[in-house]
């Protein structure tokens, strides 16, 4: 039996595997993207054994037709607001609809936008994810949800098709706040891991052996367990998250820290380093390339 219809806007690196997970769970997904290549990839998902399938729509304003909810998987708040307000998606949605913003958006702007959508009779909840492209493909994403408890419970089964951990973080905007702060930690871990492993290699240690030891010790993190072994040592640098997006999220996290009066000396140093890397690298470089950038920069400084 079909689980219902879901609209989906933003069919990129994350949107395609997330849509595929919904189809496999029996959802019929109506998808839209401004990229013809993305729309072709979406159409290639086909149907699922549980009765789900895809429909590619030619107009953004048609994506919510017959849908229980419309998911947005977009780069930032600017694009989210453009899609909902300037491009007319909100005006095309019937009263009683729900928009689920799974983008990494600004939590303060999310709260303001939720007021705008509520005035139109539409509920907005935020549900950003962590786990990268691999997590999206495997359905193991962490999903952090902000919004009314009733809306969370209503859409928890659908979100559970996308992620293995779906947690209600609090009121609207809470999910986006947690996501920004999570990425601050992730960015800090990757910097420290890279500096430590580069130092160890120059000392004469084998980075792979170092990782084996660290991952059984107290210094382990997602960077030592996943990013360095799978994307840095292999020199693939293709985790699927652009460095410009990491810098954007770091600025959001710093904004939260500053607004709440938290001393942010370490966080500011992390942001400064990432901004320096972004200034040297193409903005769409994978964020794991910061490890290569650090090694090259430190080599030049010697």
Residues assigned a catalytic role = 179
In whole angstroms, give the CA distance from residue 288 to residue 247: 13
For residue 190, how many other CB atoms are within 10 A of its CB? 26
Write out the E strands in the chain: 4-9, 27-32, 53-56, 69-72, 98-101, 123-126, 129-130, 141-146, 163-170
Rg (CA), the chain: 20
In whole angstroms, give the CA distance from residue 26 to residue 273: 44
In whole angstroms, give the CA distance from residue 195 to residue 129: 27
For residue 162, how many other CB atoms are within 10 A of its CB? 27
């Amino acid at each position: 039996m079909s689980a219902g219809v879901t609209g989906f806007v933003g069919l990129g690196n994350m949107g395609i595997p997330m849509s595929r997970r919904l189809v496999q769970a029996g959802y019929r997904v109506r998808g839209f993207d401004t990229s013809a290549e993305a729309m072709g990839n979406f159409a290639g998902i086909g149907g699922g054994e549980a009765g789900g399938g895809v429909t590619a729509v030619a107009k953004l304003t048609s994506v919510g037709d017959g849908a229980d909810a419309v998911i947005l998987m977009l780069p930032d708040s600017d694009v989210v607001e453009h899609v909902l307000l300037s491009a007319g998606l909100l005006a095309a949605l019937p009263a009683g609809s729900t928009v689920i913003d799974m983008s990494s958006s600004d939590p303060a702007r999310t709260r303001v936008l939720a007021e705008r959508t509520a005035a139109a009779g539409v509920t907005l909840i935020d549900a950003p994810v962590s786990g990268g492209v691999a997590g999206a493909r495997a359905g193991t994403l962490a999903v952090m949800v902000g919004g009314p408890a009733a809306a969370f419970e209503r859409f928890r089964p659908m979100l559970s098709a996308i992620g293995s951990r779906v947690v209600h973080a609090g009121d609207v905007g809470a999910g986006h706040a947690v996501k920004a702060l999570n990425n601050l930690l992730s960015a800090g871990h990757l910097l420290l891991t890279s500096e430590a492993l580069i130092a160890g290699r120059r000392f004469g240690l084998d980075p792979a052996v170092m990782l084996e030891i660290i991952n059984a010790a107290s210094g382990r993190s997602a960077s030592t367990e996943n990013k360095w072994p799978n994307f840095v040592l292999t020199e693939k640098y293709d985790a699927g998250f652009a460095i410009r997006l990491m810098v954007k999220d770091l600025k959001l996290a710093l904004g939260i820290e500053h607004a709440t009066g938290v001393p942010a000396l370490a966080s500011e140093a992390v942001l400064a380093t990432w901004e320096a890397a972004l200034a040297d690298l193409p903005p769409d470089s994978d964020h794991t390339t910061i490890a290569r950038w650090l090694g090259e920069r430190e080599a030049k400084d010697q």
